[in-house]
Amino acid sequence: MKKISESTIRRLSKYYRSLEQLIARNTDTVSSDQLAEMDGITSAQVRKDLSFFGTFGKRGLGYNTRALKEQIGEILGLSKEWRVAIVGAGNIGKALVNYGEFRKQGFQVHLIMDSDHGKVGQTIQGLTVESTDHLPQLIKKQRIEIAIIAVPSEAAQRVADELMEAGVKAILNFAPISIKAPEGIQVKNENTAIEIEALSYFLTNQG
């Protein structure tokens, strides 16, 4: 398949969620105009994105919601279960263990670790917090594919290095720094502070 841009992948994730909502409301077909309206995107863009993967819809009839959701899920790799580890059992780490949206999409947290010996041994949603002292062994034993970093900034790059060394190829980073990674390893930064600062900029400069 042709390489798909970051922004297309993001829009596919949005269409996927809108389709879930439509299916929950027992809607069988959807037009590109409706999907566009739901996601705040132009319908030309919706048609372009979806045509990229072959013709799903029939002109005038729209798309079958279930079939389209399944095909997008396939493209995004949501039809399999992903084995996830979380490093950092603070507030963010704990919230993510319980995050329904992850579970629903097949991201299963099998491991949570912390360097704080006061937290090691605690139970979160049936998972026992393990020590990061054993990170490499635990990552391998649990066959972790995606790791989430929820540790303070100072520790984030070191944790990332250990994770990559242990074979993790995909990292979602919640620490407010840019993680450096070699080619072939994908790092996504989830920086909530950056989003709220964009709001602060907007409020400050709206004149």
Residues at the contact surface with a copy of itself, assessed by CB under 8 A: 1, 4, 6, 9-10, 13-14, 16-18, 21, 38-40, 75-78, 80, 82, 84, 91-92, 94-96, 98-99, 101-102, 105-107, 145-146, 148, 153, 169-172, 176-178, 180, 184, 186, 188, 190-206
C-beta of 75: minimal distance to a copy of itself in Å? 7
Give the nearer residue to a copy of itself in terms of CB position, either 26 or 204: 204
C-beta of 184: minimal distance to a copy of itself in Å? 8
Give the nearer residue to a copy of itself in terms of CB position, either 5 or 134: 5
Give the nearer residue to a copy of itself in terms of CB position, either 55 or 153: 153
- HEC profile for the chain? CCCCCHHHHHHHHHHHHHHHHHHHCCCCEECHHHHHHHHCCCHHHHHHHHHCCCCCCECCCEEEHHHHHHHHHHHHCCCCCEEEEEECCCHHHHHHHCCHHHHHCCEEEEEEEECCCCCCCCEECCEEEEEHHHHHHHHHHCCCCEEEECCCHHHHHHHHHHHHHCCCCEEEECCCCCCCCCCCCEEEECCHHHHHHHHHHHHHHCC
Give the nearer residue to a copy of itself in terms of CB position, either 134 or 143: 143
C-beta of 85: minimal distance to a copy of itself in Å? 13
C-beta of 206: minimal distance to a copy of itself in Å? 8
